């Protein structure tokens, strides 16, 4: 059986991403790869390894640990670091809370997503990072900042419209002044399906929560949320067991699951394709809510 | 699977958003939830049809938030190809944004409102297509429903565009499609209402456009981006030159020359994205090992011995100025040619093109935002480039302001 062509990964995207990553290593003195444990950053790590093969990756990965991660993600992260030999730096949101720099949110929708921005900015100045690579893609969110591959930030991590440079041809201008740094998005031009097809073709391992598994969840706003000690629940929100998978890997407090039986990559890709392609896909509603979730998740981080 | 990058051009209300929405819709590149949102949005606006222009609505939202968008990227795919559309919705800095979007693109879609025909904007679009030597320009004559689906109207506009293209000196292949973006006629599906048109639909044209072949046929140009030295026991002597092969092909066993040194060696091993291969082609991120240590560093250029390029520290180029701060002769900038940066000085401004009249204005003392014209440059070290006409992948550069660090111009090399 042959795979339908729509499921073939366009290799030009891989060459483009490697070019960008090499340019980061060449133009900056102290770059890092922002690692979230999600599939996009796992792809970035893989691309970085290819870019410098057979030499080791010449920059560390930085994880901003909210303390509310899925344990599977943390285990995966540590294994990946050990296997690849890439230096892993972890900075904790809990430390920012303890230092009184940020305050824990309260209420039903409390999460640490917004808090991690402070931890990240502190890490950038502590580690004197001049470039941070992230796995954001232009197709997932229309935020202006992502339109550039090299996005210049000031001391406060802020994006200034006037500082965004036209990106002509394939030329990347990473010149900055002291105090500025650059966010770099090597897989800007990839879509979600491209990422999944790449993962399949390159046989990349992913945290197990991406595949269908049994888990206790609660239902809220028509979505399934993983039951965890971090989630503030009401009395009527009674956990029950369901077979689910996650489409993104954020915090346990703000990543909703979808009901799914897809326990293999092919199964997951099949579900995504049918959600994208069919006009009356049964799982469309999941997709909608997930899109909203992804948005919430991304506020602040980039 | 290929990737085809396209830029779109049209003036306000010609139906560009509708056309892009239509391409997304007809290739089933949108999810049900987005479609439902668009249907609801159309109803809210009191429309009796689904306004597909709302699909690129994220942009409108941003406009409302007071953020100017310059180039937006839109993605869709068919079973054979992935498409990336660079759309420049801005108006004020239009030329700059069009050039930026188009600098990545292999083809142009230019929209013309059938009722209005060729307008000033069309001239500008075709001029930019010429400047960037865009291979194929698809002229989509839209809103044919409002022009009685008339073949005469279509033919009239086609003749006008052809005449204009000739005056401008446009060498691109021109293809014309009569369309109703709103209803999808001749976008992905052939129009039943214009049976006189027997040509391809816009999507068919896009699907059949050959990708990248020309780039492979040009002489090899390999600017060294990064030198890979593992220093490990396993790869003790490994010294790999990594970078993007800008044009041409390279084979294992081939003799190559490093510039500026002019020293030669033979390719011992080749890798395309870390995979060992016998041959690599244009556009790939590669690593190569040579049989001799030539002391090559970032910014050096590797070429084949039979098709080298000459170094030159003096060049003439067309500049498209993109900064609010004016260019004045005598000013120094950093010139970035691919991944290689040198200091450069604009020694003289030769002329400025008036895009509206296509006249070359002489005696110009400076360039402002969106100005395009010819200048003379001197670089601190020789540049191993080609003219943009010979090899667009090795004949373009950007200028960077040393103080603001801004990218201030796109440059197209005319003579070296
Ligand atoms: N009658 C007709 N209207 C069209 C066609 N294409 C677009 N429109 C309408 O023209 C208006 C402007 O379209 P839009 O796509 O927003 O134009 P843009 O400013 O170029 O992006 C909208 O009201 C569209 O519905 C067409 O082929 N026929």
Domains of chain B: 3-212 (3.40.50.300), 216-307 (2.40.30.10), 311-415 (2.40.30.10)
Residue B285 DSSP SS3: strand
The verdict on a CB contact (< 8 Å) between B244 and A10 is: no
User: Ligand 1 centroid to B196 CA: how many Å?
Assistant: 23
The verdict on a CB contact (< 8 Å) between B97 and A166 is: yes
Which residue of chain B has the CA closest to A167? B100
Helices (H), ranges, A99-240: 116-126, 192-201
> In angstroms, rounded to a whole number, what is the distance separating the alpha carbons of residues B140 and B6?
14
pTM: 0.94
- Lookup result for tokens 């222009």: B53
Whether residue A80 is predicted with pLDDT greater than 70 in this model: the reply is yes
> In angstroms, rounded to a whole number, what is the distance separating the alpha carbons of residues B203 and B16?
15
- How many CA atoms lie less than 13 Å away from B177 in the CB half-sphere? 27
pLDDT above 70 covers a percentage of chain B that reads 95
Say how many Å lie between the first and final Cα of chain A, rounded.
Answer: 41
Give contacts of B 74-103 with A, CB under 8 A. 75, 77-80, 82, 84, 96-97, 99-100, 103
Helix, strand, coil percent content, chain B, rounded in steps of 5: 20, 35, 40
A83: which residues sit within 8 A by CB, 6+ positions away? none
Task: Convert the pLDDT of each residue in A30-55 to its tens digit.
Answer: 999 999 999 999 999 999 999 999 99
Instruction: At A240, list the tokens.
Output: 């029950």
A to B CB pairs, distance under 8 Å: 175
> In angstroms, rounded to a whole number, what is the distance separating the alpha carbons of residues A109 and A115?
14
Task: Convert the pLDDT of each residue in B169-213 to its tens digit.
Answer: 999 999 999 999 999 999 999 999 999 999 999 999 999 998 867
Whether residue A278 is predicted with pLDDT greater than 50 in this model: the reply is no
Going by pLDDT thresholds of 50, 70 and 90, the confidence category of residue B220 is very high
> In angstroms, rounded to a whole number, what is the distance separating the alpha carbons of residues B158 and A72?
61
Going by pLDDT thresholds of 50, 70 and 90, the confidence category of residue A298 is very low
User: Ligand 1 centroid to A147 CA: how many Å?
Assistant: 25
**Best of B16, B51, B53 to mutate for ligand 1, by most ligand atoms within 8 A of CB?**
B53
Mean pLDDT of chain B, nearest integer: 91
> In angstroms, rounded to a whole number, what is the distance separating the alpha carbons of residues B27 and B14?
22
Instruction: At B315, list the tokens.
Output: 């060049």
The verdict on a CB contact (< 8 Å) between B31 and A284 is: yes
Whether residue B315 is predicted with pLDDT greater than 80 in this model: the reply is yes
When comparing pLDDT for A227 and A140, which is higher?
Answer: A227
Whether residue A287 is predicted with pLDDT greater than 50 in this model: the reply is no
Is A11-195+291-298 in CATH node 3.40.50.970? no
Counting beta carbons within 10 angstroms of the beta carbon of residue B151, is it exposed (0 to 12), middle (13 to 18) or buried (19 or more)? middle
> In angstroms, rounded to a whole number, what is the distance separating the alpha carbons of residues A132 and A35?
10
| Residues B292/B294/B297/B301 CA torsion (nearest 10 deg) | -100
| Residues A143/A147/A149/A152 CA torsion (nearest 10 deg) | -70
Which one, of A95, A76, A85, A81, lies nearest residue A38 by Cα? A76
Going by pLDDT thresholds of 50, 70 and 90, the confidence category of residue A117 is confident
**How far, rounded to the nearest angstrom, does the alpha carbon of residue B129 sit from its chain's CA centroid?**
9
Task: Convert the pLDDT of each residue in A85-102 to its tens digit.
Answer: 999 999 999 999 999 998
What's residue B52's pLDDT?
85
| Residue B76 phi, psi dihedral angles, 5° rounding | -150, 165
What's residue A140's pLDDT?
73
ipTM of this complex prediction, to 2 decimal places: 0.95
Residue A257 DSSP SS3: strand
Instruction: At A270, list the tokens.
Output: 């099949």
Q: Where are the domains positioned within chain A?
A: 11-195+291-298, 206-288
């Amino acid at each position: 059986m042959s795979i339908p062509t729509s499921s073939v990964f366009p290799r030009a995207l891989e060459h483009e991403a490697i070019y960008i990553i090499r340019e980061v290593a060449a133009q900056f003195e102290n770059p890092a790869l922002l690692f979230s444990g999600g599939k996009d950053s796992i792809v970035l790590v893989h691309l970085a390894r290819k870019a410098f093969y057979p030499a080791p990756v010449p920059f560390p990965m930085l994880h901003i640990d909210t303390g509310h991660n899925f344990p599977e993600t943390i285990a995966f992260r540590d294994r990946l670091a050990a296997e690849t030999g890439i230096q892993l730096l972890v900075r904790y949101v809990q430390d920012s809370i303890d230092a009184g720099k940020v305050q824990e949110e309260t209420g039903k929708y409390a999460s640490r997503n917004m808090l991690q921005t402070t931890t990240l900015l502190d890490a950038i100045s502590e580690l004197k990072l001049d470039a941070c690579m992230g796995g954001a893609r232009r197709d997932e969110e229309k935020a202006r900042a992502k339109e550039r591959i090299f996005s210049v930030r000031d001391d406060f991590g802020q994006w200034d419209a006037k500082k965004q440079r036209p990106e002509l041809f394939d030329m990347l201008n990473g010149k900055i002044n002291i105090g500025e740094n650059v966010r770099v998005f090597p897989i800007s031009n990839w879509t979600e399906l491209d990422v999944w097809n790449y993962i399949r073709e390159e046989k990349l391992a992913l945290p197990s929560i991406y595949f269908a598994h049994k888990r206790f969840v609660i239902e809220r706003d028509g979505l399934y949320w993983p039951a965890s000690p971090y989630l503030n629940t009401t009395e009527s929100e009674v956990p029950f067991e369901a077979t689910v998978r996650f489409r993104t890997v954020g915090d346990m407090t703000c990543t909703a699951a979808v009901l799914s039986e897809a326990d293999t990559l092919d199964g997951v890709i099949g579900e995504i394709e049918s959600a994208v392609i069919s006009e009356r896909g049964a799982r469309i509603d999941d997709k909608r809510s997930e899109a909203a979730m992804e948005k919430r998740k991304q506020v602040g981080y980039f | 699977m290929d990737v085809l990058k396209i830029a779109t051009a049209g003036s306000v209300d010609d139906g560009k958003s509708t056309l892009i929405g239509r391409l997304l819709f007809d290739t089933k590149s949108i999810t049900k939830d987005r479609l439902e949102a668009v249907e609801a949005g159309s109803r809210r606006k009191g429309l009796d049809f689904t306004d597909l222009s709302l699909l690129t609505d994220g942009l409108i939202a941003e406009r409302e938030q007071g953020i100017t968008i310059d180039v937006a990227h839109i993605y869709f795919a068919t079973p054979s190809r992935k498409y990336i559309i660079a759309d420049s919705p801005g108006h004020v800095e239009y030329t700059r944004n069009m050039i930026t979007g188009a600098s990545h693109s292999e083809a142009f879609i230019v929209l013309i409102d059938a009722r209005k025909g060729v307008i000033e904007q069309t001239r500008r679009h075709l001029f930019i297509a010429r400047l960037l030597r865009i291979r194929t320009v698809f002229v989509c004559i839209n809103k044919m429903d409002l022009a009685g689906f008339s073949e005469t109207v279509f033919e009239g506009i086609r003749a006008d565009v052809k005449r204009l293209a000739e005056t401008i000196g446009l060498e691109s292949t021109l293809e014309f499609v009569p369309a109703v973006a709103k209803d999808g006629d001749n976008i992905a599906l052939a129009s039943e209402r214009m049976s006189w048109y027997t040509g391809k639909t816009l999507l068919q044209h896009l699907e059949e456009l050959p990708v990248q072949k020309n780039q492979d046929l040009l002489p090899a140009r390999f600017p060294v981006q990064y030198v890979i030295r593992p220093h490990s026991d396993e790869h003790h002597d490994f010294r790999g030159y990594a970078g993007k092969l800008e044009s041409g092909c390279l084979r294992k066993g081939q003799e190559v020359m490093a510039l500026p040194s002019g020293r030669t060696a033979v390719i011992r091993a080749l890798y395309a994205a870390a995979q060992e291969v016998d041959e690599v082609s244009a556009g790939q991120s590669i690593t190569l090992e040579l049989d001799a240590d030539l002391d090559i560093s970032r910014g050096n250029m590797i070429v084949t011995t039979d098709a080298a390029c000459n170094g030159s520290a003096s060049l003439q180029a067309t500049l498209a100025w993109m900064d609010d701060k004016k260019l004045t002769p005598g000013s120094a900038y950093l010139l970035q040619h691919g991944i290689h940066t040198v200091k450069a000085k604009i020694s003289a401004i030769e002329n400025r093109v008036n895009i509206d009249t296509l006249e070359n204005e002489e005696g110009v003392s400076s360039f402002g935002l969106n100005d395009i014209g010819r200048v003379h440059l001197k670089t601190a070290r020789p540049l191993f480039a080609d003219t943009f006409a010979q090899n667009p992948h090795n004949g373009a550069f950007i200028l960077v302001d040393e103080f603001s660090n801004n990218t201030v111009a796109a440059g197209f090399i005319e003579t070296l």
